């Protein structure tokens, strides 16, 4: 056997997995696994695959183009910082309020009182009270309410700087609820003081500021508007106070006697009353009345009130019909005192006063308020609806009120 034939024998034996006697080892051949690729033969599945691949390619192409466009053509946005502008009118009003308070607050004082009141066993018990006031002169004159100091056995004022002073009562007037005090200052100290505004020119809706010491809270400030003018109210003592300024600026116990000021820091009124249980119903004695009373007290020691010397009744529709009048407003005269301005001017019972110096008289409160705005000795002109229907004008010189 030649060499090539031997090789052939060995290969054949190895293929059969036999033992080669010459080499003495076993040759084993295992089948090699062959991986095959599955072919999609379903036409529908094949179409779906093609659509998915095409869509994916479209998305990639679109994203690339969009990115290129944005990078090349993206606009530049400039963001401007917003500005917050306070309306000039609001700012100016706030500034005016702040300035007015600064001008006035140091002239506002706390009025502290002691009264003797009887308990159940008729023993005199000291009772403390408190109100407000305002300095009207550098010499220490203080205006407050009559009801704040009425019946007090001891009165002190506390000024803005915290100093306490005893005071004297110069005078007081129950009709207007105004009192004038004088600080006892041993060193002749000069005090800050306020100026008066003209309440005859006050307008409904005008901004006002109340300063006082409600519930002992010193120099509390509230703001509001003039709600009405020429109001008349009956206070707890039964007195009728006329010619009042009504405001919605918050007024509380302890505010009585404090100032109601305008935006110039001038006193427009002296806070005097509230309606208990109501909101935003406060009343102030007008500055012109308060000033008139103050000047009377300093000059005469008391308030001197003018009068006509009549008693009257407000004319309404019912009175107009019952009296066969051609008007439904004014004051019809029911009684005339002897030797008074009304009797001397020739007025008679049944005449109706409808205007004073061209100011319309709508009711008895209005008539009283207008008369009190003048002084004793002033000459006024009445517009009178006479018995019989004629309207005449009558000149009257006001006299001092009796009693």
Residue found by looking up tokens 């005078």 in the block: 171
Cβ(221)–Cβ(98) below 8 Å: no
Q: Which residues pair with residue 335 across a beta bridge?
A: 311
Q: Is 119 a catalytic residue?
A: no
Q: Cα–chain-centroid distance for residue 282?
A: 13
Point out the catalytic residue in the list 147, 286, 296, 369. 147
Among the listed residues 98, 218, 222, the one whose alpha carbon sits nearest the alpha carbon of residue 163: 218
CA distance 221 to 211: 5
Q: Output the six-digit token pair for 220.
A: 């509390």
Of the candidates 132, 173, 177, 296, the residue annotated as catalytic is 177
- Report phi then psi at 89, rounded to 5: -65, -45
User: What would the two tokens of residue 75 be?
Assistant: 């606009």
Annotated catalytic residue within 132, 176, 199, 256: 256
Residue 219 falls in the annotated catalytic set: no
CA dist list (Å): 395 to 270, 370, 372: 33, 15, 17
256 annotated active-site:
yes
Q: Which of 67, 204, 211, 55 is CA-nearest to residue 133?
A: 211
Quote helix, strand, coil % in the chain, to nearest 5: 25, 35, 40
Cβ–Cβ < 8 Å for 148, 256:
yes
Distance CA 79, CA 102 (A): 43
Answer for the pair 116, 153: CB distance below 8 angstroms, yes or no: yes
Give the residue numbers marked as catalytic: 147, 177, 256
């Amino acid at each position: 056997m030649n060499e090539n034939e031997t090789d052939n024998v060995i290969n054949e034996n190895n293929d059969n997995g036999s033992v080669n006697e010459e080499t003495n080892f076993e040759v084993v051949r295992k089948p090699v696994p062959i991986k095959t690729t599955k072919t999609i033969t379903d036409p529908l599945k094949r179409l779906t695959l093609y659509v998915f691949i095409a869509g994916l390619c479209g998305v990639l192409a679109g994203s690339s183009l969009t990115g290129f466009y944005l990078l090349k053509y993206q606009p530049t946005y400039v963001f401007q910082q917003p500005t917050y502008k306070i309306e000039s009118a609001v700012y100016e009003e706030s500034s005016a309020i702040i300035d007015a308070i600064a001008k006035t607050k140091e002239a506002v004082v706390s009025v502290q009182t002691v009264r003797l009141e009887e308990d159940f066993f008729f023993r005199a018990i000291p009772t403390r009270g408190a109100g407000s006031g305002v300095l009207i002169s550098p010499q220490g004159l203080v205006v407050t309410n009559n009801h704040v100091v009425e019946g007090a056995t001891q009165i002190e004022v506390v000024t803005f700087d915290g100093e306490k002073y005893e005071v004297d009562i110069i005078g007081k007037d129950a009709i207007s609820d105004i009192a004038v005090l004088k600080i006892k200052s041993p060193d002749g100290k000069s005090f800050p003081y306020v100026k008066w505004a003209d309440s005859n020119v006050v307008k409904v809706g005008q901004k006002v500021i109340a300063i006082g010491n409600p519930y002992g809270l010193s120099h509390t400030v509230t703001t509001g508007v003039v709600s009405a003018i020429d109001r008349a109210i009956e206070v707890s003592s039964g007195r009728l106070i006329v010619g009042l300024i009504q405001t919605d600026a918050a007024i509380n116990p302890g505010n009585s006697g404090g100032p109601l000021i305008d935006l110039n820091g001038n006193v427009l009124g002296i806070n005097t009353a509230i309606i208990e249980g109501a909101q935003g119903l406060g009343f102030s004695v007008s500055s012109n009345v308060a000033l008139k009373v103050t000047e009377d007290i300093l000059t005469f020691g008391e308030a001197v009130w003018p009068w006509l010397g009549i008693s009257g009744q407000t004319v309404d529709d019912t009175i107009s019909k019952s009296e066969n009048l051609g008007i439904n407003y004014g004051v019809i005269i029911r009684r005339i005192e002897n030797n008074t301005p009304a009797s001397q001017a020739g007025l008679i019972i049944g005449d109706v006063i409808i205007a004073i110096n061209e100011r319309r008289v709508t009711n008895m409160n209005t008539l009283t308020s207008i008369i009190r705005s003048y002084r004793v000795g002033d000459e006024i002109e009445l517009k009178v609806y006479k018995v019989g229907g004629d309207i005449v004008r009558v000149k009257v010189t006001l006299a001092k009120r009796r009693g």
